[in-house]
Structure 1
């Protein structure tokens, strides 16, 4: 069985973890499949947005326990330390590939998002959770620390004291608490439907402006003020008067939906 499935609806790609009998627990095959899908999507100029979800009763229950033995009995230095994707290793790229995708990524969460699953969700731009979803930075339960890109993404989402508490205790939080502390964007009875609705709204906007906005927000979250201001001006300059922006103006003037190539 393929560990990941992809379906297209116009410019929106629905990426689904596909190991429901294991609550989409992450094994090495899934890591490689997720990275491959993200890389394929990143190269698609027609892509407008991505929805990331899980098949069955959970988004993702974390790393497959069977893999802990392979890590503990193997060569962690040789497995973890080599950089295979720029500054990241294979495990970190599992979540960071979605952060690097040039279009918005929305994670639709249900059941549980534990450990590797939570770090995968943290690589998305937005997280929509079903009521009753449980979330945890689970690694401390196994005597480990988050090492799948979470220490890049989670500090941008969570206040430092919440990040410390969740990392040190491995406690679960409910969707409702996750909303309060900023770990999820919103709660919806049907998170996949809500994520699809948001993705369709995004897909109807100027594709070049959406991609520029994602690049700009990434810089705005991490860079010094002068660099942010320079990038803001550059992205705007590169949009003004170009075909996508002219189509938006024409559509607004004519009272119709814009049409992009």
Structure 2
């Protein structure tokens, strides 16, 4: 599948999504907002994929919002910010939050600049691997704005509140090693694509239902009260046990020579 702003290919059950605007450093215009929203929703319904790799073509992952393009029409702002229910994600937020809803590990593979909206997109992934020369910034402060593309959900999970405040208040550009120290990224690698493959290889060997359940359990309940987390883990465990893949996982451990491949995952 190819769209003007996004390319998608699936290899060995890994969906590879590329931001495809290299001549503009993958800056996000309205077409890219809509393309990201569309492709992430499509992937969330694909029960056969086992992982998603999210990357950007060219020298930069994403340099941020294409301000000139987006602000040329007031209707664009309405499209981005409008929502029927305040607690739901609008279009601007879905380019980050949609990745959190896909029931497989999502890995952002980052090179060059990952600024503003680019970092908001990457923070929606489960893991982030950068090249040594990558730079990251919550850059909205430079435009007199607050970060409002949904990545605050991930930011509160990853870094201490004082670090989050400093980055969001200043728009400071940090390097990969600083980002690793803060907890914004998972690892630094000279070959982030191969590092991503090594990261998800042992995950793919597990039941797609247990992987999906863990992602949903942690993303949706990490900061909720203890009783809520306990209730959800019991509920999800029952659903996992009732599925065929849990039985096949046991078989793979006890009698691997007779074990069948996992089925596509359940609805999560």
TM-score range, shorter chain: over 0.9
Q: Which residue of 2 aligns with 1:41?
A: 43
Per-residue CA deviation, residues 96-152 of structure 1 (Å, 9 max, x unaligned), is 111111221111111111000000011011111111110000111111111111222
Per-residue CA deviation, residues 155-184 of structure 1 (Å, 9 max, x unaligned), is 222211111111111111111010001000
Q: Which residue of 2 aligns with 1:164?
A: 165
Normalization by structure 1: what TM-score? 0.92
**In 1, are the aligned partners of 2:109 and 2:128 still within 8 Å (CA)?**
yes
Q: Which residue of 2 aligns with 1:100?
A: 101
Q: Is 1:116–2:117 an aligned residue pair?
A: yes
**In 2, are the aligned partners of 1:12 and 1:203 still within 8 Å (CA)?**
no
Measured in 2, the distance between the counterparts of 1:155 and 1:174 equals 20
**In 2, are the aligned partners of 1:204 and 1:258 still within 8 Å (CA)?**
no
Q: Which residue of 2 aligns with 1:251?
A: 252
The 5 Å alignment of 1:228-239 reads: 228-239=229-240
Measured in 1, the distance between the counterparts of 2:135 and 2:260 equals 39
Per-residue CA deviation, residues 46-105 of structure 1 (Å, 9 max, x unaligned), is 12111111111111100013135326xx26874454216871111111111111112211
Question: Which 10-residue stretch deviates more, 81-90 or 243-252?
Answer: 81-90
Find the residue that maps to 1:128 and give its secondary structure. Answer: strand
Q: Which residue of 2 aligns with 1:65?
A: 67
Measured in 2, the distance between the counterparts of 1:148 and 1:33 equals 15
Measured in 2, the distance between the counterparts of 1:137 and 1:188 equals 22
The 5 Å alignment of 1:135-146 reads: 135-146=136-147
Find the residue that maps to 2:237 and give its secondary structure. Answer: helix
Question: Which 10-residue stretch deviates more, 60-69 or 168-177?
Answer: 60-69
Measured in 2, the distance between the counterparts of 1:176 and 1:169 equals 19
Stretches of structure 2 lacking an aligned partner (at least 5 in a row):
264-268
Q: Which residue of 2 aligns with 1:22?
A: 24
**Post-superposition offset of 1:248:** 1.3
**Post-superposition offset of 1:253:** 1.6
Measured in 2, the distance between the counterparts of 1:164 and 1:66 equals 27
